[in-house]
């Protein structure tokens, strides 16, 4: 597999948990303002890969580079500060703060009160939650929590946005809305999405990696991937 020198590049990443190799000699890269997707059946190692990319797990071997700098020695909060934001699989918002406060604390060092208020207002508009700004985030519907968390991740104006199953638990309509939302976001940041919902990935229609047993077995545009015999076999459980 070729190692591209992208914005965020993982090369030959390996992560073991005891005897299980969750991620096996895997290379992946994403370029400026690009959308890419990683799919795979449950247990393929998607979440482990995601945690490696955002710094929550350290690889046993392999290297993770962002704009030519190694990420291996950075703490979680430092990785966020250099421009890599993430959305967790389970909606992780601050339930006892209001929607607006959730966005406010997501800005690390606001220039001024007005600038902060401006940015928060804009984001509330983008995630369509202006009318529920004063509600406790814990009271939001599941899909709204997912959007709020994406909004929080965007408040730091990241260059790379990592999304772990952004449509988990969403209705079909919400999923399609989220696809539109993600396409809009790609004007601002490179986005790597991890998903197992085929319908979502089909609607997203971007460059797709297929993961199986810790490695990548296919990659390319989704239309090509979908008709690949090997991929179908993996997804339908014939292997």
Partner 1 sequence: MGRISISHTPLPKMSYLVILLVIAFVYSAPLIVGTYSASLLRDAMLFSMIALGLDYLWGKTGTLSFGHATFFGAGAYGAAIVSTKLGLDPTLGSWLGLISGVSIAMLIALVVGYFLIFGGVRGSYFTIVTLALAVISEHVIVGWSDITGGDAGLLGIPPLFFPTLSGLAPLSPVVLYWFIASVVCLTALSLWWVCSGRYGLILKTIEDNEERAQALGHNTSQHLLTVFVGSSAVAALGGALYASTVGFVAKDIVGLILSTQVIIWVAIGGRGTLIGPVIAAIFVIWFEQRISSINVQLWPLFMGFLFILAVFVFPNGVLRTLVGILRKLGQRLEHRV
Q: Which residues bind partner 1 (CB under 8 A)?
A: 54, 56, 75-77, 80-81, 85-86, 88, 92-97, 101, 104-106, 108, 110, 136, 138, 152-153, 155-156
Of 117 and 180, which has the nearer Cβ to partner 1?
117
Least CB distance to partner 1 at residue 98 (A): 8
> Cβ of residue 138: shortest distance to partner 1, in angstroms?
5
Q: How far is the CB of 165 from partner 1 (least distance, A)?
A: 16
* CA–CA separation, 161 and 186 (whole Å): 9
Cα Rg of the chain, angstroms: 18
Measured from the CB atom, the residue of 88 and 235 that comes closer to partner 1 is: 88
Shortest spacing between CB 24 and partner 1, in angstroms = 26
Closest distance to partner 1 from the beta carbon of 104 (Å): 7
Q: Which CB, 81 or 196, lies closer to partner 1?
A: 81
105 versus 141: smaller Cβ distance to partner 1:
105
Distances (CA, A) of 96 to 35, 110, 140, 155: 33, 22, 11, 19
Question: Smallest distance from the beta carbon of 237 to partner 1, in angstroms?
Answer: 33
* Rounded Cα distance, 74 and 72, in Å: 6
> Between residues 106 and 178, which has the closer beta carbon with respect to partner 1?
106
Closest CB 145 distance from partner 1, rounded Å = 12
């Amino acid at each position: 597999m070729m190692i591209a020198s992208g914005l965020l590049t993982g090369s030959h990443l390996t992560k073991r948990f005891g005897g299980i190799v969750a991620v096996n000699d895997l290379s992946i890269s994403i370029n400026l303002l690009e959308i890419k997707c990683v799919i795979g059946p449950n247990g393929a190692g998607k979440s482990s890969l995601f945690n490696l990319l955002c710094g929550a797990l350290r690889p046993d071997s392999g290297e993770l580079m962002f704009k030519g700098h190694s990420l291996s020695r950075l703490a979680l909060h430092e990785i966020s500060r250099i421009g890599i934001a993430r959305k967790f699989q389970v909606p992780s918002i601050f339930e006892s703060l209001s929607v607006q406060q959730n966005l406010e604390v997501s800005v690390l060092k606001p220039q001024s009160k007005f600038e902060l208020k401006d940015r928060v207002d804009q984001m509330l508009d983008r995630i369509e939650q202006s009318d529920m700004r004063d509600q406790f985030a814990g009271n939001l519907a599941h899909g709204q929590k997912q959007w709020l968390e994406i909004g929080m991740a965007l408040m730091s104006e990241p260059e790379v946005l990592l999304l772990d199953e952004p449509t988990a638990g969403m209705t079909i309509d919400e999923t399609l809305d989220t696809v539109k939302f993600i396409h809009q976001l790609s004007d601002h940041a490179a986005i790597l999405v991890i998903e197992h919902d085929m319908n979502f990935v089909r609607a997203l229609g971007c460059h797709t990696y297929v993961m199986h047993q810790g490695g990548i077995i296919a990659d390319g545009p989704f239309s090509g991937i979908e008709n690949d015999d090997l991929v179908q076999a993996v997804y339908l459980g014939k292997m």
